[in-house]
Chains A and B, each alone.
Chain A
Amino acid sequence: MKKYLAVFRIRFINALQYRAAAAAGVATQFAWGFLEIFAFSAFYRANPNAFPMEFSHTVSYIWLQQAFLALFMMWFWESDVTEAIEGGAIAYELIRPMDLYKRWFAQSCANRSARALLRCAPILLIAFIVPKPYRMGLPPSLPQFTMFVISSALSLGVVVATSMLAYVSIFYTLSSTGIRSVFTTIVGFLAGEYIPIPFFPPSIRAIAELLPFAAMQNMPLRIYSGNIAGRDALWGLAFQVFWLSLLIVLGRLAMNRALKRVVVQGG
Protein backbone atom coordinates (compact mmCIF):
# COMPACT_ATOMS: atom_id res chain seq x y z
CA MET A 1 0.00 0.00 0.00
CA LYS A 2 2.84 2.35 0.93
CA LYS A 3 4.39 2.35 -2.51
CA TYR A 4 1.08 3.20 -4.16
CA LEU A 5 0.63 6.10 -1.79
CA ALA A 6 4.11 7.21 -2.84
CA VAL A 7 3.09 7.02 -6.51
CA PHE A 8 0.06 9.10 -5.63
CA ARG A 9 2.18 11.69 -3.81
CA ILE A 10 4.78 12.01 -6.59
CA ARG A 11 2.19 12.40 -9.31
CA PHE A 12 0.15 14.78 -7.20
CA ILE A 13 3.10 17.11 -6.53
CA ASN A 14 4.16 16.85 -10.14
CA ALA A 15 0.74 17.87 -11.46
CA LEU A 16 0.60 20.79 -9.04
CA GLN A 17 3.42 22.46 -10.98
CA TYR A 18 1.25 23.45 -13.94
CA ARG A 19 -0.13 26.64 -12.49
CA ALA A 20 -0.13 28.92 -15.56
CA ALA A 21 -2.11 26.38 -17.55
CA ALA A 22 -4.52 26.11 -14.64
CA ALA A 23 -5.04 29.88 -14.55
CA ALA A 24 -6.03 29.97 -18.21
CA GLY A 25 -8.22 26.94 -17.65
CA VAL A 26 -10.04 28.61 -14.79
CA ALA A 27 -11.05 31.58 -16.95
CA THR A 28 -12.39 29.28 -19.64
CA GLN A 29 -14.26 27.05 -17.22
CA PHE A 30 -15.77 30.00 -15.47
CA ALA A 31 -17.11 31.45 -18.74
CA TRP A 32 -18.27 27.99 -19.76
CA GLY A 33 -20.20 27.48 -16.53
CA PHE A 34 -21.86 30.86 -16.84
CA LEU A 35 -23.03 30.18 -20.39
CA GLU A 36 -24.41 26.77 -19.41
CA ILE A 37 -26.34 28.35 -16.58
CA PHE A 38 -27.68 31.10 -18.85
CA ALA A 39 -28.92 28.44 -21.25
CA PHE A 40 -30.68 26.53 -18.47
CA SER A 41 -32.18 29.76 -17.21
CA ALA A 42 -33.62 30.46 -20.68
CA PHE A 43 -35.29 27.05 -20.59
CA TYR A 44 -36.49 27.71 -17.08
CA ARG A 45 -38.17 30.92 -18.22
CA ALA A 46 -39.71 29.07 -21.17
CA ASN A 47 -41.51 26.63 -18.89
CA PRO A 48 -40.66 26.42 -15.16
CA ASN A 49 -43.04 23.49 -14.68
CA ALA A 50 -41.15 21.26 -17.09
CA PHE A 51 -37.93 21.79 -15.12
CA PRO A 52 -37.08 18.46 -13.48
CA MET A 53 -34.81 19.84 -10.73
CA GLU A 54 -35.00 23.02 -8.71
CA PHE A 55 -33.23 25.77 -10.58
CA SER A 56 -30.81 26.38 -7.69
CA HIS A 57 -29.91 22.68 -7.70
CA THR A 58 -29.07 22.90 -11.39
CA VAL A 59 -26.93 25.97 -10.75
CA SER A 60 -24.94 24.14 -8.06
CA TYR A 61 -24.60 21.14 -10.36
CA ILE A 62 -23.05 23.24 -13.14
CA TRP A 63 -20.67 25.17 -10.87
CA LEU A 64 -19.45 22.03 -9.13
CA GLN A 65 -19.06 20.33 -12.48
CA GLN A 66 -16.83 23.14 -13.71
CA ALA A 67 -14.91 23.42 -10.43
CA PHE A 68 -14.17 19.68 -10.24
CA LEU A 69 -13.93 19.11 -13.99
CA ALA A 70 -10.71 17.16 -13.71
CA LEU A 71 -12.12 14.89 -11.06
CA PHE A 72 -15.18 13.64 -12.87
CA MET A 73 -14.93 14.21 -16.62
CA MET A 74 -14.35 11.11 -18.66
CA TRP A 75 -12.30 12.92 -21.31
CA PHE A 76 -9.29 13.45 -19.08
CA TRP A 77 -7.19 10.69 -20.51
CA GLU A 78 -4.03 9.37 -18.86
CA SER A 79 -1.78 9.66 -21.89
CA ASP A 80 1.19 8.24 -19.92
CA VAL A 81 -0.70 4.99 -19.64
CA THR A 82 -1.94 4.79 -23.22
CA GLU A 83 1.47 5.73 -24.61
CA ALA A 84 3.10 3.05 -22.48
CA ILE A 85 0.81 0.46 -24.01
CA GLU A 86 1.09 1.74 -27.56
CA GLY A 87 4.79 2.51 -27.47
CA GLY A 88 6.07 -0.55 -25.64
CA ALA A 89 7.26 1.22 -22.50
CA ILE A 90 4.93 -1.23 -20.79
CA ALA A 91 7.88 -3.61 -20.72
CA TYR A 92 9.60 -1.43 -18.12
CA GLU A 93 6.43 -1.15 -16.12
CA LEU A 94 6.10 -4.90 -15.97
CA ILE A 95 9.51 -5.57 -14.46
CA ARG A 96 8.84 -3.22 -11.56
CA PRO A 97 7.83 -4.99 -8.36
CA MET A 98 4.47 -3.28 -8.40
CA ASP A 99 0.99 -4.24 -9.32
CA LEU A 100 0.28 -2.41 -12.57
CA TYR A 101 -3.41 -1.97 -11.95
CA LYS A 102 -2.89 -0.37 -8.55
CA ARG A 103 -0.07 1.77 -9.83
CA TRP A 104 -2.06 3.20 -12.73
CA PHE A 105 -5.08 3.61 -10.49
CA ALA A 106 -3.07 5.64 -7.98
CA GLN A 107 -1.49 7.67 -10.75
CA SER A 108 -4.83 8.58 -12.35
CA CYS A 109 -6.36 9.53 -9.03
CA ALA A 110 -3.36 11.73 -8.22
CA ASN A 111 -3.38 13.56 -11.54
CA ARG A 112 -7.08 14.16 -11.43
CA SER A 113 -7.21 15.38 -7.84
CA ALA A 114 -4.18 17.67 -8.22
CA ARG A 115 -5.69 19.31 -11.27
CA ALA A 116 -9.03 19.69 -9.56
CA LEU A 117 -7.40 21.17 -6.48
CA LEU A 118 -5.56 23.76 -8.56
CA ARG A 119 -8.66 24.83 -10.40
CA CYS A 120 -11.54 24.53 -8.01
CA ALA A 121 -10.83 27.32 -5.51
CA PRO A 122 -11.13 30.38 -7.80
CA ILE A 123 -14.17 28.95 -9.59
CA LEU A 124 -15.96 28.14 -6.34
CA LEU A 125 -15.05 31.53 -4.91
CA ILE A 126 -16.65 33.33 -7.84
CA ALA A 127 -19.60 30.95 -7.90
CA PHE A 128 -20.37 31.90 -4.31
CA ILE A 129 -20.39 35.67 -4.91
CA VAL A 130 -22.12 36.14 -8.28
CA PRO A 131 -25.64 37.64 -8.07
CA LYS A 132 -28.53 35.58 -6.79
CA PRO A 133 -30.18 33.26 -9.27
CA TYR A 134 -26.74 32.28 -10.58
CA ARG A 135 -25.10 31.98 -7.18
CA MET A 136 -24.12 28.61 -5.84
CA GLY A 137 -25.94 27.63 -2.67
CA LEU A 138 -24.54 25.97 0.44
CA PRO A 139 -25.37 22.34 1.13
CA PRO A 140 -28.58 22.02 3.18
CA SER A 141 -26.93 20.34 6.18
CA LEU A 142 -23.65 19.03 7.53
CA PRO A 143 -24.50 15.33 7.07
CA GLN A 144 -25.48 16.11 3.50
CA PHE A 145 -22.12 17.79 2.93
CA THR A 146 -20.29 14.79 4.44
CA MET A 147 -22.15 12.50 2.07
CA PHE A 148 -21.15 14.79 -0.80
CA VAL A 149 -17.47 14.43 0.13
CA ILE A 150 -17.67 10.64 0.41
CA SER A 151 -19.66 10.43 -2.80
CA SER A 152 -17.07 12.56 -4.63
CA ALA A 153 -14.29 10.19 -3.63
CA LEU A 154 -16.33 7.17 -4.73
CA SER A 155 -17.20 8.91 -7.95
CA LEU A 156 -13.53 9.54 -8.69
CA GLY A 157 -12.94 5.84 -8.12
CA VAL A 158 -15.70 4.82 -10.51
CA VAL A 159 -14.42 7.20 -13.19
CA VAL A 160 -10.86 5.89 -12.89
CA ALA A 161 -11.98 2.23 -12.75
CA THR A 162 -14.02 2.75 -15.91
CA SER A 163 -11.17 4.38 -17.77
CA MET A 164 -8.92 1.48 -16.73
CA LEU A 165 -11.22 -0.80 -18.72
CA ALA A 166 -10.73 1.46 -21.72
CA TYR A 167 -6.95 1.38 -21.30
CA VAL A 168 -7.01 -2.40 -21.13
CA SER A 169 -8.88 -2.51 -24.42
CA ILE A 170 -5.88 -0.76 -26.02
CA PHE A 171 -3.88 -3.95 -25.34
CA TYR A 172 -6.08 -5.58 -27.94
CA THR A 173 -6.53 -2.79 -30.48
CA LEU A 174 -3.02 -1.31 -30.11
CA SER A 175 -4.27 2.13 -31.03
CA SER A 176 -6.15 4.61 -28.91
CA THR A 177 -7.42 6.69 -31.84
CA GLY A 178 -11.11 6.29 -32.23
CA ILE A 179 -11.59 4.39 -28.96
CA ARG A 180 -10.95 7.52 -26.99
CA SER A 181 -13.58 9.73 -28.53
CA VAL A 182 -16.18 6.99 -28.92
CA PHE A 183 -15.71 5.79 -25.34
CA THR A 184 -15.49 9.17 -23.64
CA THR A 185 -18.50 10.51 -25.51
CA ILE A 186 -20.86 7.64 -24.76
CA VAL A 187 -19.80 7.28 -21.12
CA GLY A 188 -19.74 11.06 -20.67
CA PHE A 189 -23.21 11.46 -22.04
CA LEU A 190 -24.70 8.78 -19.81
CA ALA A 191 -22.86 10.20 -16.81
CA GLY A 192 -24.59 13.55 -17.20
CA GLU A 193 -21.68 15.58 -18.56
CA TYR A 194 -23.76 17.23 -21.26
CA ILE A 195 -27.02 17.63 -19.39
CA PRO A 196 -27.79 16.31 -15.89
CA ILE A 197 -29.54 12.92 -15.94
CA PRO A 198 -32.87 14.32 -14.61
CA PHE A 199 -33.21 16.22 -17.90
CA PHE A 200 -33.31 12.96 -19.87
CA PRO A 201 -36.75 11.77 -21.03
CA PRO A 202 -38.34 9.63 -18.25
CA SER A 203 -37.86 6.21 -19.84
CA ILE A 204 -34.22 6.81 -20.75
CA ARG A 205 -33.61 8.36 -17.35
CA ALA A 206 -34.90 5.22 -15.63
CA ILE A 207 -32.36 3.10 -17.47
CA ALA A 208 -29.50 5.58 -17.18
CA GLU A 209 -29.88 5.74 -13.41
CA LEU A 210 -29.14 2.02 -13.08
CA LEU A 211 -25.97 2.06 -15.18
CA PRO A 212 -22.51 2.44 -13.63
CA PHE A 213 -22.21 5.84 -15.30
CA ALA A 214 -24.84 7.22 -12.93
CA ALA A 215 -22.39 6.40 -10.12
CA MET A 216 -20.04 9.08 -11.49
CA GLN A 217 -20.59 12.84 -11.24
CA ASN A 218 -24.36 12.40 -11.15
CA MET A 219 -24.26 11.34 -7.48
CA PRO A 220 -22.00 13.86 -5.72
CA LEU A 221 -23.22 16.85 -7.73
CA ARG A 222 -26.84 16.10 -6.89
CA ILE A 223 -26.18 15.12 -3.30
CA TYR A 224 -24.44 18.44 -2.64
CA SER A 225 -27.52 20.56 -3.30
CA GLY A 226 -29.92 18.13 -1.64
CA ASN A 227 -31.45 17.04 -4.93
CA ILE A 228 -30.75 13.53 -3.65
CA ALA A 229 -31.14 13.67 0.11
CA GLY A 230 -31.41 11.58 3.26
CA ARG A 231 -32.10 7.88 2.73
CA ASP A 232 -31.91 8.22 -1.06
CA ALA A 233 -28.43 9.65 -0.75
CA LEU A 234 -27.34 6.72 1.44
CA TRP A 235 -28.72 4.36 -1.19
CA GLY A 236 -26.79 6.36 -3.75
CA LEU A 237 -23.56 5.80 -1.83
CA ALA A 238 -24.27 2.07 -1.67
CA PHE A 239 -24.97 2.09 -5.39
CA GLN A 240 -21.59 3.74 -5.97
CA VAL A 241 -19.76 1.23 -3.75
CA PHE A 242 -21.42 -1.62 -5.64
CA TRP A 243 -20.34 -0.38 -9.06
CA LEU A 244 -16.90 0.63 -7.86
CA SER A 245 -16.12 -2.85 -6.54
CA LEU A 246 -17.58 -4.56 -9.60
CA LEU A 247 -15.63 -2.35 -11.99
CA ILE A 248 -12.38 -2.90 -10.11
CA VAL A 249 -12.87 -6.69 -10.14
CA LEU A 250 -13.69 -6.61 -13.86
CA GLY A 251 -10.79 -4.31 -14.58
CA ARG A 252 -8.29 -6.52 -12.76
CA LEU A 253 -9.54 -9.66 -14.48
CA ALA A 254 -9.38 -8.00 -17.90
CA MET A 255 -5.92 -6.64 -17.20
CA ASN A 256 -4.53 -9.97 -16.04
CA ARG A 257 -5.86 -11.65 -19.14
CA ALA A 258 -4.39 -8.94 -21.35
CA LEU A 259 -1.01 -9.08 -19.64
CA LYS A 260 -0.75 -12.84 -20.16
CA ARG A 261 -0.69 -12.38 -23.89
CA VAL A 262 1.01 -8.99 -24.06
CA VAL A 263 3.38 -8.57 -26.98
CA VAL A 264 5.91 -5.78 -26.76
CA GLN A 265 6.41 -4.18 -30.11
CA GLY A 266 9.84 -3.31 -31.35
CA GLY A 267 13.25 -4.09 -29.97
Chain B
Amino acid sequence: MRLYMKFFSMHMKSQMQYKLSFFLTMIGQFLVSFAILLSLYFMMSRFNVVMGFTYEQVLLCFASVLMGYSLAEMLGRGFDLFPRMLGNGEFDRALVRPRSVITQVLASKMDFTRLGRILQAAFVFIYAVPKSGVIWTRDKILTLFLMVICGSLVFFGLFIVYAAFSFFTVEGLEFMNILTDGGREFGRYPYAIYGEGILKFLTYFVPLALFQYYPLLYLLDIEKSKLYMFTPLLSLIFLLPAYAFFQYGVRKYKSTGS
Protein backbone atom coordinates (compact mmCIF):
# COMPACT_ATOMS: atom_id res chain seq x y z
CA MET B 1 0.00 0.00 0.00
CA ARG B 2 2.80 2.39 0.85
CA LEU B 3 4.42 1.51 -2.41
CA TYR B 4 1.17 2.26 -4.21
CA MET B 5 0.90 5.67 -2.58
CA LYS B 6 4.42 6.36 -3.69
CA PHE B 7 3.49 5.58 -7.29
CA PHE B 8 0.37 7.70 -6.85
CA SER B 9 2.32 10.81 -5.96
CA MET B 10 4.93 10.00 -8.60
CA HIS B 11 2.31 9.92 -11.39
CA MET B 12 0.69 13.03 -10.00
CA LYS B 13 3.94 14.95 -10.02
CA SER B 14 4.97 13.76 -13.47
CA GLN B 15 1.65 14.76 -15.00
CA MET B 16 1.83 18.15 -13.35
CA GLN B 17 5.02 18.86 -15.28
CA TYR B 18 3.02 19.51 -18.43
CA LYS B 19 0.46 21.82 -16.91
CA LEU B 20 -1.06 23.32 -20.05
CA SER B 21 -1.46 20.01 -21.79
CA PHE B 22 -2.85 18.53 -18.57
CA PHE B 23 -5.49 21.20 -18.15
CA LEU B 24 -6.43 21.20 -21.82
CA THR B 25 -6.99 17.46 -21.73
CA MET B 26 -8.92 17.85 -18.51
CA ILE B 27 -11.15 20.50 -20.06
CA GLY B 28 -11.63 18.21 -23.04
CA GLN B 29 -12.72 15.39 -20.74
CA PHE B 30 -15.07 17.75 -18.94
CA LEU B 31 -16.59 18.91 -22.20
CA VAL B 32 -17.16 15.42 -23.57
CA SER B 33 -19.35 14.43 -20.67
CA PHE B 34 -20.85 17.90 -20.57
CA ALA B 35 -22.21 17.35 -24.08
CA ILE B 36 -23.93 14.23 -22.81
CA LEU B 37 -25.27 16.16 -19.83
CA LEU B 38 -26.57 18.86 -22.17
CA SER B 39 -28.36 16.36 -24.39
CA LEU B 40 -29.87 14.83 -21.27
CA TYR B 41 -31.04 18.29 -20.20
CA PHE B 42 -32.58 18.96 -23.63
CA MET B 43 -34.42 15.65 -23.52
CA MET B 44 -35.65 16.06 -19.96
CA SER B 45 -36.79 19.65 -20.44
CA ARG B 46 -38.83 18.52 -23.42
CA PHE B 47 -40.38 15.45 -21.83
CA ASN B 48 -40.18 16.30 -18.08
CA VAL B 49 -40.36 12.67 -16.97
CA VAL B 50 -39.14 9.36 -18.29
CA MET B 51 -40.60 6.20 -16.74
CA GLY B 52 -41.72 8.38 -13.85
CA PHE B 53 -38.25 9.73 -13.06
CA THR B 54 -37.77 13.48 -12.99
CA TYR B 55 -34.79 15.41 -14.33
CA GLU B 56 -33.06 15.68 -10.96
CA GLN B 57 -33.61 11.99 -10.26
CA VAL B 58 -32.12 11.03 -13.60
CA LEU B 59 -29.19 13.29 -12.76
CA LEU B 60 -28.49 11.15 -9.70
CA CYS B 61 -27.95 8.23 -12.10
CA PHE B 62 -25.83 10.30 -14.44
CA ALA B 63 -23.60 11.62 -11.68
CA SER B 64 -23.13 8.38 -9.79
CA VAL B 65 -22.25 6.41 -12.93
CA LEU B 66 -19.97 9.15 -14.21
CA MET B 67 -18.16 9.48 -10.93
CA GLY B 68 -17.81 5.73 -10.45
CA TYR B 69 -16.54 5.25 -13.99
CA SER B 70 -14.09 8.13 -13.88
CA LEU B 71 -12.63 7.00 -10.55
CA ALA B 72 -12.12 3.53 -11.98
CA GLU B 73 -10.59 4.96 -15.13
CA MET B 74 -8.30 7.35 -13.31
CA LEU B 75 -6.80 4.69 -11.08
CA GLY B 76 -7.24 1.68 -13.36
CA ARG B 77 -5.88 3.25 -16.53
CA GLY B 78 -3.06 0.69 -16.45
CA PHE B 79 -5.54 -2.03 -17.39
CA ASP B 80 -6.85 0.05 -20.24
CA LEU B 81 -3.33 0.28 -21.67
CA PHE B 82 -2.61 -3.34 -20.82
CA PRO B 83 -2.50 -4.61 -24.44
CA ARG B 84 0.40 -2.25 -25.01
CA MET B 85 2.14 -3.57 -21.91
CA LEU B 86 1.86 -7.09 -23.31
CA GLY B 87 3.10 -5.97 -26.68
CA ASN B 88 6.24 -4.19 -25.56
CA GLY B 89 7.36 -6.84 -23.09
CA GLU B 90 6.84 -4.64 -20.05
CA PHE B 91 4.61 -7.36 -18.64
CA ASP B 92 7.47 -9.88 -18.60
CA ARG B 93 9.35 -7.59 -16.29
CA ALA B 94 6.32 -7.29 -14.05
CA LEU B 95 6.15 -11.08 -13.73
CA VAL B 96 9.61 -11.40 -12.26
CA ARG B 97 9.19 -8.71 -9.64
CA PRO B 98 8.24 -9.75 -6.10
CA ARG B 99 4.89 -7.94 -6.06
CA SER B 100 1.46 -9.02 -7.23
CA VAL B 101 0.83 -8.48 -10.94
CA ILE B 102 -2.40 -6.57 -10.36
CA THR B 103 -0.70 -4.05 -8.07
CA GLN B 104 2.00 -3.49 -10.63
CA VAL B 105 -0.41 -2.95 -13.49
CA LEU B 106 -2.36 -0.56 -11.29
CA ALA B 107 0.76 1.36 -10.42
CA SER B 108 2.00 1.47 -14.01
CA LYS B 109 -0.31 4.28 -15.07
CA MET B 110 -2.74 6.71 -13.51
CA ASP B 111 -4.55 9.36 -15.42
CA PHE B 112 -5.47 12.43 -13.43
CA THR B 113 -7.02 14.25 -16.36
CA ARG B 114 -10.17 12.27 -15.47
CA LEU B 115 -10.55 14.69 -12.59
CA GLY B 116 -12.38 16.84 -15.13
CA ARG B 117 -15.20 14.33 -15.17
CA ILE B 118 -15.11 13.65 -11.46
CA LEU B 119 -15.47 17.36 -10.85
CA GLN B 120 -18.44 17.52 -13.17
CA ALA B 121 -20.10 14.61 -11.40
CA ALA B 122 -19.53 16.42 -8.10
CA PHE B 123 -21.18 19.59 -9.44
CA VAL B 124 -24.14 17.61 -10.67
CA PHE B 125 -24.49 15.96 -7.26
CA ILE B 126 -24.44 19.36 -5.58
CA TYR B 127 -27.26 20.47 -7.84
CA ALA B 128 -29.32 17.29 -7.88
CA VAL B 129 -29.05 15.97 -4.33
CA PRO B 130 -31.23 18.66 -2.71
CA LYS B 131 -33.67 18.86 -5.64
CA SER B 132 -34.26 15.18 -6.30
CA GLY B 133 -37.07 14.93 -3.78
CA VAL B 134 -35.20 12.32 -1.77
CA ILE B 135 -35.57 12.57 1.99
CA TRP B 136 -31.93 12.19 2.94
CA THR B 137 -31.52 9.95 5.98
CA ARG B 138 -28.30 8.35 7.09
CA ASP B 139 -29.23 5.14 5.26
CA LYS B 140 -29.78 7.00 2.01
CA ILE B 141 -26.52 8.88 2.17
CA LEU B 142 -24.81 5.56 2.72
CA THR B 143 -26.70 4.15 -0.28
CA LEU B 144 -25.46 6.95 -2.53
CA PHE B 145 -21.88 6.31 -1.42
CA LEU B 146 -22.31 2.61 -2.11
CA MET B 147 -23.62 3.43 -5.60
CA VAL B 148 -20.52 5.41 -6.47
CA ILE B 149 -17.93 3.16 -4.83
CA CYS B 150 -19.36 -0.17 -5.95
CA GLY B 151 -19.97 1.31 -9.40
CA SER B 152 -16.36 2.23 -9.60
CA LEU B 153 -15.29 -1.27 -8.53
CA VAL B 154 -17.53 -2.98 -11.08
CA PHE B 155 -16.21 -0.77 -13.90
CA PHE B 156 -12.76 -1.59 -12.63
CA GLY B 157 -13.70 -5.27 -12.90
CA LEU B 158 -14.69 -4.65 -16.52
CA PHE B 159 -11.28 -3.12 -17.20
CA ILE B 160 -9.70 -6.26 -15.76
CA VAL B 161 -11.83 -8.41 -18.06
CA TYR B 162 -10.76 -6.21 -20.97
CA ALA B 163 -7.11 -6.65 -20.04
CA ALA B 164 -7.59 -10.40 -19.62
CA PHE B 165 -9.07 -10.68 -23.11
CA SER B 166 -5.94 -9.15 -24.51
CA PHE B 167 -3.99 -12.23 -23.39
CA PHE B 168 -5.85 -14.15 -26.08
CA THR B 169 -6.51 -11.64 -28.83
CA VAL B 170 -5.31 -8.25 -29.86
CA GLU B 171 -7.91 -7.71 -32.55
CA GLY B 172 -11.55 -7.03 -31.96
CA LEU B 173 -11.49 -5.86 -28.36
CA GLU B 174 -13.80 -3.11 -29.52
CA PHE B 175 -16.87 -5.08 -28.42
CA MET B 176 -15.91 -4.46 -24.79
CA ASN B 177 -16.59 -0.77 -25.42
CA ILE B 178 -20.31 -1.34 -25.31
CA LEU B 179 -19.93 -2.46 -21.67
CA THR B 180 -17.40 0.13 -20.53
CA ASP B 181 -18.01 3.30 -22.56
CA GLY B 182 -21.56 2.17 -23.26
CA GLY B 183 -22.17 1.42 -19.59
CA ARG B 184 -21.12 4.95 -18.78
CA GLU B 185 -23.01 6.71 -21.55
CA PHE B 186 -26.23 4.76 -21.24
CA GLY B 187 -25.96 4.91 -17.46
CA ARG B 188 -27.09 8.52 -17.72
CA TYR B 189 -30.64 7.18 -17.56
CA PRO B 190 -31.87 4.50 -15.14
CA TYR B 191 -30.96 1.26 -16.90
CA ALA B 192 -34.59 0.13 -16.70
CA ILE B 193 -35.68 2.47 -19.50
CA TYR B 194 -33.93 0.23 -22.01
CA GLY B 195 -36.51 -2.47 -21.35
CA GLU B 196 -36.86 -5.73 -19.48
CA GLY B 197 -34.28 -7.72 -21.43
CA ILE B 198 -31.48 -5.21 -21.06
CA LEU B 199 -32.26 -4.76 -17.36
CA LYS B 200 -32.05 -8.54 -16.79
CA PHE B 201 -28.74 -8.67 -18.61
CA LEU B 202 -27.40 -5.80 -16.53
CA THR B 203 -28.62 -7.49 -13.36
CA TYR B 204 -27.44 -11.07 -13.78
CA PHE B 205 -24.55 -10.98 -16.27
CA VAL B 206 -22.80 -7.63 -16.06
CA PRO B 207 -24.28 -6.16 -12.89
CA LEU B 208 -24.32 -2.47 -13.82
CA ALA B 209 -27.96 -2.06 -12.78
CA LEU B 210 -27.21 -3.38 -9.29
CA PHE B 211 -25.35 -0.23 -8.35
CA GLN B 212 -27.55 2.18 -10.28
CA TYR B 213 -31.21 1.30 -10.86
CA TYR B 214 -32.08 -0.76 -7.78
CA PRO B 215 -30.49 1.50 -5.17
CA LEU B 216 -32.13 4.46 -6.94
CA LEU B 217 -35.49 2.81 -6.27
CA TYR B 218 -34.53 2.68 -2.59
CA LEU B 219 -33.49 6.35 -2.59
CA LEU B 220 -36.82 7.36 -4.07
CA ASP B 221 -38.81 5.18 -1.63
CA ILE B 222 -40.28 3.21 -4.52
CA GLU B 223 -38.80 0.11 -2.88
CA LYS B 224 -38.63 0.31 0.89
CA SER B 225 -36.89 -3.00 1.54
CA LYS B 226 -33.35 -2.67 2.92
CA LEU B 227 -32.34 -5.30 0.38
CA TYR B 228 -32.36 -2.63 -2.34
CA MET B 229 -30.02 -0.49 -0.30
CA PHE B 230 -27.39 -3.21 -0.36
CA THR B 231 -27.69 -4.31 -3.98
CA PRO B 232 -24.51 -2.36 -4.86
CA LEU B 233 -22.60 -4.71 -2.57
CA LEU B 234 -24.09 -7.66 -4.43
CA SER B 235 -22.62 -6.33 -7.66
CA LEU B 236 -19.13 -6.81 -6.26
CA ILE B 237 -19.50 -10.56 -6.82
CA PHE B 238 -18.64 -9.69 -10.42
CA LEU B 239 -15.07 -9.02 -9.36
CA LEU B 240 -14.51 -12.72 -8.60
CA PRO B 241 -14.94 -14.07 -12.14
CA ALA B 242 -13.13 -11.01 -13.49
CA TYR B 243 -10.16 -11.69 -11.26
CA ALA B 244 -10.25 -15.43 -12.01
CA PHE B 245 -10.31 -14.73 -15.74
CA PHE B 246 -7.29 -12.46 -15.45
CA GLN B 247 -5.37 -15.05 -13.44
CA TYR B 248 -6.26 -17.66 -16.03
CA GLY B 249 -4.83 -15.36 -18.65
CA VAL B 250 -1.64 -14.89 -16.67
CA ARG B 251 -1.22 -18.68 -16.40
CA LYS B 252 -1.77 -19.14 -20.13
CA TYR B 253 0.54 -16.26 -20.97
CA LYS B 254 3.37 -16.83 -23.38
CA SER B 255 5.76 -13.99 -23.87
CA THR B 256 5.95 -12.38 -27.29
CA GLY B 257 9.75 -12.43 -27.03
CA SER B 258 12.12 -9.58 -26.65
Contact = CB atoms under 8 A, between A and B. Distances in A.
Interface of A: 20-21, 23-25, 27-28, 31-32, 35, 38-39, 42-43, 46-47, 50, 52, 175, 177-182, 185-186, 188-189, 194-195, 199-201, 204
A181 B32 contact: yes
B177 interface: yes
B175 A177 contact: no
Interface of B: 21, 24-25, 27-29, 31-32, 34-36, 38-39, 42-43, 45-51, 171-175, 177-178, 182, 186, 189, 193-195, 198
Contacts of B28: 177-178, 180-182, 185
Nearest to B193: A42
Contacts of A175: 21
B173 A24 contact: yes
A28 B174 contact: yes
Contacts of A25: 174
Nearest to A37: B194
A113 to B, nearest CB: 20
A115 B115 CA distance: 33
A188 B35 contact: yes
Given A21-B172, A47-B48, A38 B43 contact: no
A54 B78 CA distance: 45
B116 to A, nearest CB: 10
Contacts of A182: 24, 27-28, 31
B31 A185 contact: yes
Nearest to A200: B42
A199 B46 contact: yes
3 nearest CB pairs, A to B: A178-B24, A181-B28, A24-B172
Contacts of A21: 171-172, 174
A31 B36 contact: no
A194 B36 contact: yes
25 contacts: A20-B171, A23-B172, A24-B171, A27-B178, A28-B177, A28-B182, A31-B178, A35-B186, A38-B195, A39-B186, A39-B189, A39-B194, A42-B50, A43-B43, A46-B51, A47-B48, A52-B46, A177-B21, A178-B25, A181-B29, A181-B31, A182-B27, A185-B32, A185-B35, A199-B46
Contact of B24 (A38, A177, A204): A177
B227 to A, nearest CB: 25
A186 B31 contact: yes
Nearest to A190: B35
Contact of B47 (A38, A46, A178, A181): A46
A46 B49 contact: yes
Contacts of B178: 27-28, 31-32
Given A27-B175, A35-B182, A178-B28, A42 B36 contact: no
B152 to A, nearest CB: 22
Given A186-B31, A189-B35, A50 B47 contact: yes
Nearest to A181: B28
Contacts of B39: 189, 194-195, 199
Contacts of B43: 43, 195, 199
A47 B48 CA distance: 9
Nearest to A24: B172
A195 B32 contact: no
Given A23-B172, A28-B174, A194 B46 contact: no
A225 B11 CA distance: 51
Nearest to B20: A178
A187 to B, nearest CB: 10
Contact of B46 (A31, A38, A185, A201): A201
A31 B257 CA distance: 37
Contact of B38 (A20, A52, A180, A189): A189
B158 to A, nearest CB: 14
A23 B45 CA distance: 38
A181 B182 contact: no
Contacts of B24: 177-179, 182
